[in-house]
Amino acid sequence: MTPHSANHDGADRVARTAELIKKTFDPVPRVAMILGSGLGSVTASIDAPRTLPFDRIEGFPVTRVAGHAGQLLCGELVSTPLLVQQGRVHYYEGHPMDMVVLLTRALALAGVKVLVVTNAAGGVSPDLKAGDLMRLTDHLNLMGANPLTGPHNENYGPRFPDLSRAYDPDVGAILDQAASDSGHELHTGIYAAFSGPSYETPAEIRMVRSLGASAVGMSTVPEVIAATQMGVRAGAISCIANSAAGMSHQGISHDEVLDVTAKASVNLAAILEKALPRLHAL
């Protein structure tokens, strides 16, 4: 299969997935959200939920990472329509980048205009502790890959998208105000993305800290790049699950990540409930 035909097949799959989303969730909400590891409880307050499991999406892999439910869910939160992607596939699982962002692109084609991406991250800044929430203001893509690499599809937007406003300032302002209104602190900072799946070394953490990063993780950046290219206004929040390597004397484990994010998801849900009506109005 040539690169061109592979790209064409991928575009067809995105289009078919978009049609499936529209058929399943008609009308598709303007606002969607991607939930990271252990943050699935954010959906507990969604009324009249309808679901689309990943295994019903043609050619889409079933997520096998603990803490990821592996489905799309649509309903109402504070009387406002919301579509939630519970879990994601990761580059470190061996999937190509076009698969990592397939759902992001399909959501955009289906009519989503605002996307809030969440993740579990390691704290690089000494000001961040486990359980804190941080809104992303920018990122460092250290994954060694970009979802826009390869033949260009004009249906997705410009070949060379401007990322200077990838983390939309209006979305950010709404999230900040929602945090204030709900009485929860929302830090801000730069997120550094590595490919994983191994956690970063102390030397790598010293490097990204010197480059200005406040948190580090293994996701989010591909989805934000793809969303921005397609004109979707994006925002992102990290749940600080642990101190990154070398920042404390404790080791790092995925079980710890899930435990901390499950507790922090209560605060995240409170912020999103305040933000959602305003995001829907954008």
Catalytic positions: 37, 68, 90, 92-93, 120, 218-219, 242, 254
Output the CA torsion 39→280→70→166 (10° steps): -80
Give dist(CA 215, CA 217) in Å, integer.
7
Q: Which two tokens stand for residue 267?
A: 């605060």
Give dist(CA 242, CA 228) in Å, integer.
29
Give dist(CA 138, CA 32) in Å, integer.
20
How many Cα atoms occupy the beta-carbon half-sphere of 264 within 13 Å?
29
Phi and psi angles of residue 81, each rounded to the nearest 5 degrees, phi first? -60, 140
How far is CA 39 from each of CA 19, 152, 189, 200, 280, rounded to the nearest angstrom? Answer: 27, 34, 20, 22, 21
Give dist(CA 89, CA 144) in Å, integer.
17
